[in-house]
């Protein structure tokens, strides 16, 4: 019993002695700074994940945000809204950090004025959309599937065309973005490849109908 008491007293004495060393205070200061840094970093990170931050620059507010406001993701009968970060910022820590690092390039182009007018933005629309489609394709449309899930769909509640397409996509291993490009923003001018190509497509008339009729 006495040995146990002496051992406990010795541990306390050593701990007390260590608490008065420079190493202890250096470790304590590092720990405190780490907590403050982490709290500040996380607060700043969450601030940049707000929709208000996303549209704080006119490039986003005057172009894609106005398009998004006319879609079902902005306003619908259930009142459930998907905001900019819901679709464009991953929720998982690793992918989120990667996306934030990539966003630093967007800040650079903001400074350079790469898309600071509607004309410049539309000229870059296909390139910008392509980058985002490729990102969503690579992660299996994770941001879409945070809300939508093939396995949770009630096909009986969908119209025949939607039900058939969803089941077809599920069986073929397709991801949301394969079929739902342009769901929240205007599609860029692109080749749609709809239908078989015609060998002799119809040509536009060279004269207006009224002018042609007046000459007869």
pLDDT digits (tens, 9 = 90+) for 92-128: 888 898 988 888 888 888 889 898 898 999 999 999 9
Whether 113 and 60 map to the same domain: the answer is: yes
The predicted pLDDT at position 176 comes to 93
Whether 76 and 98 map to the same domain: the answer is: yes
The predicted pLDDT at position 120 comes to 92
The predicted pLDDT at position 137 comes to 94
Whether 55 and 80 map to the same domain: the answer is: yes
Whether 129 and 178 map to the same domain: the answer is: no
d(CA 54, CA 47): 10
Q: Which residues of the chain have pLDDT under 70?
A: 1-10, 12, 18, 190-216
Whether 114 and 157 map to the same domain: the answer is: no
Name the residue among 153, 145, 151 with its Cα closest to residue 87.
Answer: 145
The residue among 128, 147, 166 that closes a domain is 147
Helix ranges (DSSP H) in 71-216: 84-88, 93-112, 118-138, 142-145, 160-172, 176-179, 209-215
Residue 146 DSSP code: T
70 found inside a domain: yes
Full residue range of the structural domain in which residue 78 is found: 26-147
Name the residue among 83, 72, 186 with its Cα closest to residue 129.
Answer: 186
Q: What is the Rg, in whole angstroms, of the alpha carbon atoms belonging to the chain?
A: 29
Report residue 117 as tokens: 């007018």
Report residue 182 as tokens: 């342009």
Whether 171 and 133 map to the same domain: the answer is: no
Report residue 177 as tokens: 């973005």
Whether 59 and 109 map to the same domain: the answer is: yes
d(CA 178, CA 138): 11
Whether 153 and 138 map to the same domain: the answer is: no
CATH (domain of 94): 1.10.3820
Over the stretch 166-184, which tens digit does the pLDDT of each residue have?
A: 989 889 989 999 999 988 9
Q: Which class for 21: exposed (0-12), middle (13-18), buried (19 or more C-beta within 10 A)?
A: exposed
Residue 183 DSSP code: S
- Contact of 128 with 186, CB cutoff 8 Å: no
End-to-end CA separation in angstroms for the chain: 124
71 found inside a domain: yes
Whether 143 and 172 map to the same domain: the answer is: no
- Contact of 92 with 205, CB cutoff 8 Å: no
d(CA 173, CA 206): 47
160 found inside a domain: yes
Whether 92 and 48 map to the same domain: the answer is: yes
Burial 95-114 (b: 16+ CB within 10 A, else e): eeeeeeeeeeeeeeeeeeee
What pTM did the predictor assign? 0.69
Report residue 197 as tokens: 């190509």
161 found inside a domain: yes
The residue among 147, 173, 191 that closes a domain is 147
The predicted pLDDT at position 211 comes to 43
Report residue 150 as tokens: 């093939």
Q: What total of structural domains would you count in the chain?
A: 2
Report residue 158 as tokens: 């969908």
Whether 161 and 69 map to the same domain: the answer is: no
The full length of the chain comes to 216
């Amino acid at each position: 019993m006495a040995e146990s008491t002496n051992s406990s007293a010795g541990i306390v004495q050593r701990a007390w002695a260590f608490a008065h060393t420079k190493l202890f205070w250096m470790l304590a200061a590092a720990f405190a700074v780490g907590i403050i840094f982490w709290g500040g970093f996380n607060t700043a990170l969450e601030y940049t994940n707000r929709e208000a931050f996303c549209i704080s620059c006119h490039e986003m507010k005057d172009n894609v945000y106005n398009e998004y406001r006319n879609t079902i993701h902005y306003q619908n009968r259930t009142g459930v809204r998907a905001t900019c970060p819901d679709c464009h910022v991953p929720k998982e820590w690793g992918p989120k950090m990667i996306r934030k690092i990539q966003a630093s390039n967007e800040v650079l182009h903001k400074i350079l004025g790469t898309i600071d007018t509607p004309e410049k933005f539309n000229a870059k629309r296909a390139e910008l959309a392509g980058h985002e489609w490729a990102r969503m394709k690579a992660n299996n449309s994770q941001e879409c599937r945070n809300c939508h899930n093939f396995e949770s769909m009630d096909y009986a509640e969908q119209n025949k065309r939607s039900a058939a397409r969803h089941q077809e996509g599920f069986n073929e291993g397709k991801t949301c973005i394969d079929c739902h490009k342009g769901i929240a923003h205007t599609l860029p001018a692109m080749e749609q490849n709809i239908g078989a190509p015609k060998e002799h497509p119809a040509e536009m008339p060279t004269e207006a109908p009224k002018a042609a009729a007046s000459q007869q």
